[in-house]
Amino acid sequence: MADKETDSSGFLRAQSLTSMAQREIERLVMEGHYSPGERINENALATRLGISRGPVREACRTLAAQGLVQLIPNRGVFIRVITEEDAKSVYEVRAGLFGYCGMLLAGRITRAQLDHLELLIEQMEVAANASDFDRYYPANLTFHDFLISASGNERLVRTYHDLVRQLHLFRTRGLVSGDGMKASNREHREIVAGLASRDAQRAFKAMHDHVIAGRDRAMGAIAHAGS
Distance CA 126, CA 62 (A): 38
137/218 same-domain check: yes
Q: Give residue-wise pLDDT tens across range 179-213.
A: 889 999 999 999 999 999 999 999 999 999 999 99
State the average pLDDT for the chain: 87
69/113 same-domain check: no
Distance CA 41, CA 24 (A): 13
Q: Give residue-wise pLDDT tens across range 46-90.
A: 999 999 999 999 999 998 888 888 999 989 999 888 888 888 999
Distance CA 30, CA 126 (A): 24
CATH number of the domain that residue 72 is part of: 1.10.10.10
Triad 153, 156, 158: Cα angle to 5°: 110
148/210 same-domain check: yes
CATH number of the domain that residue 133 is part of: 1.20.120.530
113/57 same-domain check: no
114/89 same-domain check: yes
70/97 same-domain check: no
Distance CA 83, CA 46 (A): 30
Domain final residue, candidates 56, 79, 102: 79
45: domain range? 2-79
60/114 same-domain check: no
Domain final residue, candidates 44, 79, 114: 79
> Is residue 92 pLDDT above 80, yes or no?
yes
Domain final residue, candidates 64, 79, 94: 79
Beta strands in 8-51 (DSSP E): 39-40
100/202 same-domain check: yes
Q: Which of 1-15, 82-96, 156-170, 212-226 has the lowest mean pLDDT?
A: 1-15
Query: What would the mean pLDDT of 160-179 be, rounded to a whole number?
Result: 70
Radius of gyration over alpha carbons of the chain, in Å?
20
153/58 same-domain check: no
125/199 same-domain check: yes
119/195 same-domain check: yes
Q: Give residue-wise pLDDT tens across range 119-149.
A: 999 999 999 999 888 889 889 989 999 999 9
- Greatest C-alpha distance within the chain: 69
Helix axes of 84-106 and 154-168: crossing angle, nearest 10 degrees: 150
- Looking at the 3D structure of the chain, how many domains does it have? 2
99/210 same-domain check: yes
SS3 36: coil
